[in-house]
Structure 1
Amino acid sequence: MKTSQNNTMKESYVKSSVFSTRAMVTISLLTALSYVLMLLESPPYIGFLRLEFSDIPAILGAFWFGPAAGILIEFLKNLIKGITASNTMGIGELANFIVSVAYVVPASLLFRKLKGKYKSVFAFGAATISMMIVGFLMNYFVTIPLYARMYGGIDNIVGLASMVPGIKNMFTLILIGITPFNLVKGIFLGIVGHITYEILKKVIR
């Protein structure tokens, strides 16, 4: 009987409404943590890409309370960063939000729906593919053109990636430079996200 009650409590936590008091408090804490982690980033790759842990709190929030929680955390994190610490006039924050949402939403939807031992593999694998596709389209049509205007032309942006063989124009910059980075980032987030979730799941129990 006690075990059944514990299981019910755990399920009610995971399925809580994003608008419940528990969820709002947790989302606020996860947003603050996400913002701090966003400031702790790796050295830049090809000028403007950085690896950091700020999507992990959004992944946890989305797993516990649904995709809307993950989107909200990503939005608030980037909004605060854009207001307080942006050095790209909001372009980097816009890109981070769109790419991160493209990862967090499918990961959470599949993780909450799938059953079995390998559901994390399928969820994070699909999320990585989603992030790569959305990232390619967004960078080609939005982000890189905006950066080009900001830094004096596409040639200057391509020049930042001159250390990578084969990058000669915007298309090859995205295909050879940014897309592999998103692949690595997706795998990285999947591993860290899975481990973090499993650790916190045991603590919640």
Structure 2
Amino acid sequence: MQTNSKIRPLAVTAMLSAVGCILMMLDFPIPMLIPSFVKMDLSELPALLASFSLGPVYGIVVCLVKNVLAAIFHGSTLGIGEVCNFAMGAMFVGVAGLIYKHNKTRKTAIIASLIGSVAMAVFSVPVNFFFSYPVYAAAFGGMDAIIAAYQEINPNVTSLLSCLILFNLPFTLVKGLLSSVVCFLIYKPLSPILHGKK
């Protein structure tokens, strides 16, 4: 019985990591709202399910494993995108899971998801500003080309920081909120699988 209680969380984590990897591969651009190299996906959804059902550490592990799998099977950014996706996803599900862990109610889950989404959105600015975009610029044609892609949507942006605040921050917030909404819709039907209850 004790062995089963240890195996079940690992099995659920592996399953959710695989689903997260698949969802990450199903990303899609929204070119009218943000440059096409920034893509929408719901790959944090399985990690949020893990964080709520098993705990924040498991949610972060799902973020890590699904990004490792995505880098192996779908990588097109030299690992840069996967590293940043992990950092932001871990912030999202880690914060949400920690808040929910101390008071497991539906209201707390909603509050936790909102705070986690905001934390991820805010965290996306320094992650992109100090890491991902400088690396992208060095590898793929310079910072001016990146800023120019944003200026095609809004000519008023003149710096990387303004691009990230006006575009990436709200985009990442919406991404977190969408994952949260879907999580609430499917959590109860999936609860027997996630918690190992018949």
Establish whether TM, by shorter chain, passes 0.5. Answer: yes
Are residues 1:30 and 2:16 paired? yes
* Corresponding residue SS for 2:28: coil
5+ unaligned residues in a row in structure 2: which ranges?
none
Q: Are residues 117 and 76 of structure 1, via their aligned partners in 2, closer, same or farther at CA, if it must alter by over 3 Å?
A: closer
Alpha-carbon deviation of 1:121? 2.0
Q: What TM-score comes out, normalization by structure 1 length?
A: 0.85
1:67–1:108 Cα contact (<8 Å) kept: yes
1:30–1:57 Cα contact (<8 Å) kept: yes
1:47–1:161 Cα contact (<8 Å) kept: no
Q: Which has the larger radius of gyration?
A: 1
Map of 2:93 onto structure 1: 104
Runs of 4+ with deviation above 6 angstroms: none
Q: Are residues 141 and 63 of structure 1, via their aligned partners in 2, closer, same or farther at CA, if it must alter by over 3 Å?
A: same
Map of 1:172 onto structure 2: 162
Q: Bigger CA drift: 42-51 or 65-74? A: 42-51
Q: Are residues 22 and 116 of structure 1, via their aligned partners in 2, closer, same or farther at CA, if it must alter by over 3 Å?
A: closer
Write the distance in 2 (CA, Å) between the matches of 1:138 and 1:36: 24
Write the distance in 1 (CA, Å) between the matches of 2:177 and 2:47: 16
1:101-133 Cα offsets, whole Å, 9 max, x none, are: 110101111122225442122101110111012
Alpha-carbon deviation of 1:167? 2.0
Q: Write the mapping of 1:175-194 to structure 2, written as runs, cut at 5 A.
A: 175-194=165-184
Letter of the 2:166 counterpart: I
From 140, 152, 157, the counterpart of 2:141? 152
Write the distance in 2 (CA, Å) between the matches of 1:125 and 1:85: 30
Percent of residue pairs identical: 28
Q: Bigger CA drift: 97-106 or 81-90? A: 81-90
1:153-183 Cα offsets, whole Å, 9 max, x none, are: 1101112222332322111111111111011
Write the distance in 2 (CA, Å) between the matches of 1:167 and 1:121: 34
Letter of the 2:69 counterpart: I
* Corresponding residue SS for 1:118: helix
Letter of the 2:163 counterpart: L
From 33, 46, 50, the counterpart of 1:57? 46
5+ unaligned residues in a row in structure 1: which ranges?
1-15
Alpha-carbon deviation of 1:186? 1.7
2:121–2:173 Cα contact (<8 Å) kept: yes
Q: What TM-score comes out, normalization by structure 2 length?
A: 0.87
2:95–2:112 Cα contact (<8 Å) kept: yes
1:31–1:73 Cα contact (<8 Å) kept: yes
